[in-house]
Structure 1
Amino acid sequence: MPPSQSVALPLRGQFRALYQQLKHAGVLARTPVVFCEGDSWFSTPLAMNLLDWIVSPAPDDEARGVPLLGNGGLFFRAEHSGDHASRNPDDPKRSMFVRDNIDDLIGWYSKFDFDLILLSAGGNDFVDSFLKRTLGNRTGLSAQAAFQLVLDSGKYETVRKAYALFLQAAIAARPGVPVLAHSYDYPRLIGQPGALTPGNLGVAALLKKSVGPWIGPNILGIVEAERPKFARLLIDGFEQNVLRTLKADPRFAATFDYVDLRGTLTQPAQWFDEMHPTEAGFHALATKFRGAMLAKLPAAKR
């Protein structure tokens, strides 16, 4: 592959064919092979998302000195918008780290010499119907009181155990292959849906009714001035109780790591809606994520 050119393939047959071509051409030794699973931060079609910017960096990135994948890369992309990390009680088929899906993913993953696993998972577990059930009909809640209800729900532990189930399977299948996840950034547009236009979604925008919101309508029981603080506490809780705890777990310390993206996007204009950055926002996040990703790859493939 030419320098900095990567290929992303969501279809297994296409991935297998290109993998074999690269192998026969003798270039796998310098080509990163990356397995990706995740949610809309890896898959949203509304703009170039976090993973899109890794696979296909902006034309001027190289000129600006942004670290790119030196010899390109081969990415297998299994992500889907809306998927939960743990079992989704409202739609079990939209669950990543449950036994059936893990068995399917690892069965495929184990057939190829992947160099790295990228994960984007957990954000959907803590919004929408979860918030509605957890906060119920309470009113006048402070941010801290509402967050305590989230802690008491055990959801962080549920998501952490789901991650652990996947990590155990991945490590058993291919010991030593690093796994890199990420935190989410602090929401700036609480209660604001995404604007769907043909410009950002093509003709599909004419058929799709709305994008969100997933947080705002479900936290009306929190005092209005406290709602941004509550959203920050949710994000901090995910980093502290899921990602940081997994990284400190002796079973995963040598394999699992994450990029802390909190505080990167500080301007409302960098956000498309409550949960998704704009294209420019994702580009800023990808710059951080790419650097950590490169450090995890074998030296010959950076």
Structure 2
Amino acid sequence: MTSVVITGKRYLTKPEEAEKFGPFERTYLAEGDSWMDSSAWNQGSLPEFLVRGFNRRGRSRLIVNISTSGHTLTKIVDMMNDELVWWLNQGTYDALLFSAGGNDFIDAARDAPPGQGLLFDMRGKPMPANGYDCVNPAALQRLVDYLNVNFAAIYQAVRSSGKNAATPIYLNAYDTPQARDAPAIRDLAGPWLYTAYTKNGIDPALWDQLTAGIFKDILHTITAWADGRSGVHVVPTSDLLDKAVPGSTGDSKDWVNEIHPNKSGWKKQVEAWLPLLS
């Protein structure tokens, strides 16, 4: 018995590459951001390590992966009619594995001009007692409200699809990283939080508190998506990983770069997923 992950595009053109290992006990559809995207060979992903976990347990599972690194929840909703809805109409899945929201928070902190996004511009201002005081609560509320509307659209798309109206949705809850100057390999992307904090003049002594507060907000936002929604489950992945060494610029502890786990980190993450999917 063998488990396999294959990208949606590859499955359409070369289905035999996966089907030769079938028939499969269960089939999952994975959608989301870089935590789900398997295209970064040097980084790893949840589906890749889930498959390894299934294989260690003698399970036969297929994961069709339509995730895209860097995608925000907003982008997923914008593309929904072109991709996610199409895949929902192709077959019945035993679960939708979904990772989104983290990039939306990070982009809101990093991409806007200083003081115009999620963070206050702290340049020239007294250092607050708590790093989380650097978060603009009005901007946070606007972001959360916007994400809630977007997830509602995803949920409605799944529930209104004839074949997957009852398909469970499992939500990635991420884990809290260490803000540091650790981009993806060869500076292809990132750093993310480090850029946001330095742009807004936030003292490094505040970074740990600020990052912990932001990722609690991410967790609370994602957890709330399951409230009152049938079949939506939040996977308890927070507080599983050992944080990287402050000031490190590469692979450290359970992190390959600033915001993505390494091999040891992914192994810890999937241990929270496997019991729910088995």
TM over 0.5: yes
Give the equivalent residue in structure 2 for 1:192.
Answer: 181
- Identify the residue that residue 248 of structure 2 maps to in structure 1: none
Shift of 1:16: 8.2
Higher relative contact order (CA 8 A, sep 6+): 1
Q: Does 1:263 find its partner at 2:239?
A: yes
Structure 1: gaps (5+ residues): 63-67, 87-94, 197-207, 295-302
Q: Report if aligned partners of 2:32, 2:67 keep a CA contact under 8 Å in 1.
A: yes
How far apart, CA to CA, are the structure 1 residues paired with 2:43 and 2:51? 14
Instruction: Report the CA distance shift for 1:279/1:113 in structure 2 as closer, same or farther (over 3 A).
Output: same
Number of the residue aligned with 2:158: 170
* Matched ranges for 1:196-235 at <5 A: 196=185, 208-220=186-198, 221-235=201-215
Match of 2:145, SS?
Answer: helix
Aligned to 2:249: none
CA gap 1:13/1:46 in 2 versus in 1, 3 angstroms = closer
Taking structure 1 as reference, are residues 103 and 128 closer, same or farther at Cα in structure 2, changes over 3 Å only?
closer
Partner Cα distance (2:212, 2:54) in 1: 30
Instruction: Determine the C-alpha separation between the residues in 2 that align with 1:138 and 1:155.
Output: 20
What root-mean-square deviation, in Å, do the aligned CA atoms of Structure 1 and Structure 2 show? Answer: 2.8
Note if contact 1:49-1:279 (Cα within 8 Å) is conserved in structure 2.
no
- In 1, Cα distance between the equivalents of 2:44 and 2:196? 28
Distance 1:195 1:73 in 2: 30
Alignment of 1:89-238 (within 5 A): 95-98=75-78, 100-102=79-81, 104-128=83-107, 130-133=109-112, 134=117, 135=119, 137-139=121-123, 140-141=127-128, 142-149=130-137, 151-152=139-140, 154-173=142-161, 174-188=164-178, 190-194=179-183, 196=185, 208-220=186-198, 221-238=201-218
Alpha-carbon distance, 1:34 to partner? 0.6
Distance 1:108 1:267, change over 3 A: closer
Q: Which SS does the other structure have where 1:35 is aligned? A: strand
- Mapped contact 1:54–1:286 kept (Cα < 8 A): yes
| Aligned counterparts of 1:283 and 1:176: Cα–Cα separation in 2 | 29
Query: How far has the Cα of 1:166 moved from its partner?
Result: 0.6
Partner Cα distance (1:72, 1:58) in 2: 7
Moved more, 125-134 or 73-82: 125-134
Q: Report the equivalent of 1:203.
A: none
- The residue type equivalent to 1:118 in the other structure is L
How far apart are 1:102 and its partner, in Å?
4.0
Instruction: Say if 2:62 is the partner of 1:74.
Output: yes
Alignment partners' CA distance in 2, 1:127 and 1:267: 18
Within the alignment, does 1:278 sit opposite 2:274 as a pair? no
Q: What letter is aligned with 2:267? A: H
Distance 1:148 1:287, change over 3 A: same
TM-score of the two chains, using structure 1 as the length reference: 0.75
Which has the larger helix fraction? Answer: 1
C-alpha deviations, 1:38-60, integer Å up to 9, x for none? 1111124223322201123397x
Alignment partners' CA distance in 2, 1:161 and 1:247: 13
From 24, 27, 34, the equivalent of 1:33 is: 27
Shift of 1:37: 0.4
1:104 is displaced (CA, Å) by 3.0
Cα-to-partner distance string for 1:220-270 (whole Å, 9 max, x where unaligned): 322321111111111110111x2221111x2x2x22111121110124211
Change (3 A) 1:132 1:209: closer
Q: Which runs of 5+ in 2 are unaligned?
A: 245-252
Contact 2:180 2:194 in 1 (8 A): yes
**What are the superposed Cα offsets for residues 125-145 of structure 1, whole Å, 9 maximum, x if unpaired?**
111464352136333354232
**Per the alignment, do residues 102 and 227 of structure 1 end up closer, same or farther by CA in structure 2, a change over 3 Å counting?**
farther
Number of equivalenced pairs? 254
After TM superposition, the score normalised by the length of structure 2 is 0.81
User: Does the residue aligned with 1:96 lie in a helix, a strand or coil?
Assistant: helix
